Amino acid sequence: MKSLLLVFLSIVVLSGSSAHAADAKLVKSTPSDGGVSGTPPSAFVLEFSQAVQLHQIFIKKDDGKSQPLGKLQSKEAATVTVPAPPLTAGHYVLEWSVFADRSRVLSGRIRFTISGESVAAPSSTQ
């Protein structure tokens, strides 16, 4: 009976901590995934559902090599901001990884395009 209780308590404790860890996810990014802009961003902003610690972040243009971005935040935060390097027109992939709950690695990609053309709101015709 004691061993059955011990197994049950172990399952409850472990499932509770993994459920909490599973809550961490990317909620919003700037630029947005699939976004098109006429001008390059001045910074990359990643917003998460809970505080994370940025592990690494890379930028890749078209089929070129991934370049690491520097000046990473060292403290945990729900919003991570990284200054963007000078970017020209083209297709980009921003690859990132963070530590959630100090141990679990969460990673993802954001694809965006800089058109090099000013993106204006459509004008209304009267």
| Alpha-carbon distances, residue 59 vs 43, 76, 101 (angstroms) | 12, 22, 25
Residue 54 lies in a domain: yes
Domain containing 46: what range?
24-114
Residue 7 lies in a domain: no
CATH code of the domain containing 42: 2.60.40.1220
- Token representation of residue 52: 């994370």
Residue 16 lies in a domain: no
Burial label for 126, CB within 10 Å (0-12, 13-18, 19+), is: exposed
pLDDT digits (tens, 9 = 90+) for 9-62: 343 334 444 444 457 899 999 999 999 999 999 999 999 999 999 999 999 999
For the chain, how many structural domains are there in total?
A: 1
pTM of structure: 0.74
